[in-house]
Amino acid sequence: MGLSASDVTPPGGVPLAGFGGGARRLGFDILNRYPYATFLAPSEGVLDPIRAKVMVLKQGKKNLVFISVDTVAVTAEIRKDFLERLEKNRGLGPDEVFISATHTHSGPGTLSRSLLWSLVAADAFQQKIYDQFLNDVVRGVDRAFASLEPVDLLAFEFKTSEIQKNRRGKKGHFDPLTNVLLAKNKKGHWLG
């Protein structure tokens, strides 16, 4: 198993995704005052870095790569572009890579080409920010592969109740099982 956690914070001034209304709404920057912000106010600094976490499980020639990024979402386009880069760099196929977002509203905007999401919650697409973000995450995958070491995996599950809810108050199905996967290296250190 290999692990990495990478700082993938974009440059200052990239708007935060998920803040489509209220005080975060810029209007339209017709004077081009902000290099990365068009509809939403630019970020003003870094409270916590934006991270990408990667876990690689390898057995023989088989790989499973789990990527978690501090973004509001991972679009189908982002997934496709990640997969293209990982196939080129590492020979990984789509069934070997799982990408998820933490759904933070403090992550970078400008990552979606969708006009709707640009207007509503993410700001105008910026190729430079998009490429930097993807490249930083791919480097995190490379670091995770470089840190591969033998581990013992321990898996267990337990039932939970009333820890999940629909934030809009609607009823729905919630999986009552919580699954946990732990890894311990041969020196007895817990890795994650």
pLDDT of residue 16: 87
Pairing state between β 151-159 and 97-101: unpaired
User: Alpha-carbon distance 185 to 33, whole Å?
Assistant: 51
User: Alpha-carbon distance 189 to 192, whole Å?
Assistant: 9
Q: pLDDT tens digits, residue range 76-103?
A: 999 999 999 999 989 999 999 999 999 9
User: Alpha-carbon distance 192 to 182, whole Å?
Assistant: 6
Which spans in the chain are helix H?
76-90, 115-117, 127-146
CA dist 28 → 34, 38, 105, 186 (Å): 11, 6, 21, 56
pLDDT at 25 over 70: no
- Split at pLDDT 50, 70, 90, the class of 24 is low
Q: What is the mean pLDDT of residues 41-54?
A: 90
Q: What is the mean pLDDT of residues 156-172?
A: 81
pLDDT of residue 87: 94
At residue 44, what is the residue type? E
- Split at pLDDT 50, 70, 90, the class of 18 is confident
Contact 23, 44 (CB under 8 A): no
Phi, psi angles (nearest 5°) of residue 117:
-65, -30
Who wins on pLDDT, 71 or 18? Answer: 71
**Selection from 61, 60, 55 nearest residue 141 by Cα:** 55
Who wins on pLDDT, 118 or 179? Answer: 179
